[in-house]
Structures are given as C-alpha cells and as structure tokens.
Amino acid sequence: MTDANQTPAYTRPVVRLKPKAEARAIRHGFPWVYADELVTDRRTQALAPGALAVLEDGDRRPLGLVTVNGKSKIICRVLDRDPEAVIDAAWFARRLTRALDMRARLFAQPFYRLVHAEADGLPGVVIDRFGDVAVVQPNAAWAEAHLEALVAALREVTGVSTVIKNGTGRSRSLEGLVEETAVLVGGIDAPIPVLMNGATYMADVLGGQKTGLFFDQRPNHAFAASLARGATVLDMFSHVGGFALAALAGGATSALAVDASAPALALATKGAEASGVADRFSTRQGDAFEVLEALGTEGARFDLVICDPPAFAPAKPALEAGLRAYERIARLAAPLVAPGGYIVLCSCSHAADLSAFRNACGRGIGRGGRRGQLIHTGFAGPDHPLLPQLAESGYLKSLVFRLD
C-alpha cells in the first residue's frame, strides 16, 4: 500500500502536465491535452504513437489513462478515468453497447452513426452502420493500434458481418497515419440502399465520400422536406441526393441536384429511381460556384434552395477564408430563390462557430440583394451526440431563411 502523499507505482509509462496547465478541465471531462501543455522529456518523446500512459497533473496526482501521440498537436487523448484500465475487446464492448443502446432506441432501422468519437468515449473513432455493414474510421493512432480488438467487439455487440476500414481524411494525416481503405471482415460488391425520411439513398461505403453517406444531416433533410411540398428545389453540393431526394419524398414538384462528382450524382440518380421519383429528379455536374453563377445568368428561380458545402474552415487558420466562401455561397444563391421562398445554408466547419457562420450568411444574403427571416437553426442528429466540454464535437450548423 502506498502512502497518501506518495505517487502510486503504475505498470504503464507516466506523462505529466506542465505546472501551469489546466488540470481542472481534464477532471471536468475535457478529453484532450495539447502538445504545449505536456512535459515532453526524452521518455515521453520515445513513446510510440498511440501508446498508453498514465496522465498526472503538475502535483503528480493521477488524472486517468491516456493515449499519447507526439506527432499530433493533440498529444494526449483521455481514454478512461481509471489509470489501470485494460484496453481490450471487453473494454470496447462496454463502450459500444452503451452507444448501441441509444441508437436502437432512436432508430427503427440499423442505419446511423454508431460511434461519434469523443462523445461516445472512443476518441478519434467514427463508426457508421449500414445494416449488416459497419464502416470504421480509426482517425487516431491509438485506435489504429487497437483495431483488431475494436473490430472483434463491434462484431460481437452489433452482429454485423462486414466491417470496412475507411482510413482516409485530414484527421489521419494530422495523427501521422497513412491513408488506407480495406475490407477487414466479410465483403460487399454494390452500393447499400438506405431508407431515410421516406427516400432511398445509395451509399458507396468503399469508394464514396467519408463513410458513404452523411447521417448527420438527417433531421435537417426532414425540416427542408417539410417546406418542399409543391416546390421547385435546387440542391447544391448534393452528394448522393441528400436534400433533393428528401424534398421529393416530401412532395416537391422537381429537384435539381448539383455536385462536382459524377459518381456521386450517378448514385443520386439510382436513389431517385429506387425512391420512385426519377421523373421529377435531374442532375447537373460542375463546380458549385460556377453553376450558381450560370443559373443566375439563366434567370433560374427555385422555391427552395439548399447549399450544403464541404468544410470551408476545417481549422482556425482557414477561418477567415472559409467565412468569405460561405458569404459568397449565400450571395450567389439568394437571387435564385423565388419571392417568399426559402434558402437553407449549412456548414460542417469546426472552426466556424454558429455566430460567425450566421453573420457570414446574413451578409451574403444582403449582398445578394435579398432580405430574409431566420426561421430555423438545425444541428446534427442525436446519433452525433455533443460532448459538452468539447465544442468541436458539435460541428454541423444549418440555417433556414425565408426571403422577401
């Protein structure tokens, strides 16, 4: 037994916060330690990316079990409050069971985000479920190192027969990880039909964007669809038909889907066919800004215009340029809205908070010669829970304006 004033002898390496670092935030649930907050001596620097260690505060009091990656600006991610926790398949199964319980209550069919990284207690890990198929994004070095145990637990808890690793994206590069997509278990040879909001979407889980479908926009698709009855719709950055197909299911008279990706639009067309709305659905491939300008020149008008672009401001250095891009989108899109019509503007940028995004959209609408009422603010669905201590886990914003 150790003395109350003596540091316990741990079986794992110990890393320590600098004396002025804020340990209270970690105790209150903040899941990250930044590189400039940690003592990085030779022992810490020698730890392999993804190694497990005990985190102590400046007074050598334990804060919990963390994973360490000296190649990342987020040098530590908190895994467990217990410094001696064993990270094995059973540990993963407990986290996954808790995550699954909520999703099973929320959704009648198994199509959802099963794990939303830190908010579900698995830092840097995203898992989207498509029925019998699960797509895992191990976006942190520790998850890559423990992938076998994670997949074993995932199959045990959910019963899925196919597991795909989607190792692409900016997050992995920030962790020093290579990009790789692989079928880890089972197999798949065709897009997966996913029923949401009365429409059928085709998810390419091997070659599509992200995991193949954006589950986070589900409630925003539904709200836009409620405005679409009898309306003509323009869906910019449509991907596989996100807003357009939901709007057609909601009674839109027509929907034009615009995207730069021909494969994505081909899947959108297949989704329209599967949904029985192909006669009211059309596509246009091209750069969104160029298409918006061309539609303006053509004098096109729509009752409902949706713009759901990629993250223009994924990090703080890109914030100002990103906000200018969002303003430009609103400026070009607003004149395309028929009098009394609606415009939906979305952002999935971590760095652009709601206030900054709303202000950029307002400026753009005004510069487009229009005035409007903000009637609705939407966020990601409940399968993308927000960790209150981590603002970055609440990235998605959707603003709906009615224009004069």
* Best CA proximity match to 401, nearest among 359, 343, 329, 339: 343
* 237, 310 contact by CB (below 8 A): yes
Residue the block writes with tokens 């399968």: 383
Bridge partners of 58, per DSSP, are: none
- DSSP for 321-338 reads HHHHHHHHHHHHHGGGEE
**Per annotation, catalytic residue among 307, 346, 348, 361:** 348
φ, ψ (nearest 5 deg) of residue 368: -85, 5
* 345, 361 contact by CB (below 8 A): yes
* 323, 252 contact by CB (below 8 A): no
* 362, 300 contact by CB (below 8 A): no
Question: Is 307 part of the annotated catalytic residue set?
Answer: no
- DSSP for 92-107 reads HHHHHHHHHHHHHHH-
* Best CA proximity match to 132, nearest among 104, 151, 111, 102: 111
What's the length of the chain?
404
- DSSP for 141-199 reads HHHHHTHHHHHHHHHHHH--SEEEEEE-SHHHHHTTPPPEEEEEES---SPEEEEETTE
φ, ψ (nearest 5 deg) of residue 255: -145, 130
* 79, 52 contact by CB (below 8 A): yes
Task: Return the active site residues.
Answer: 348
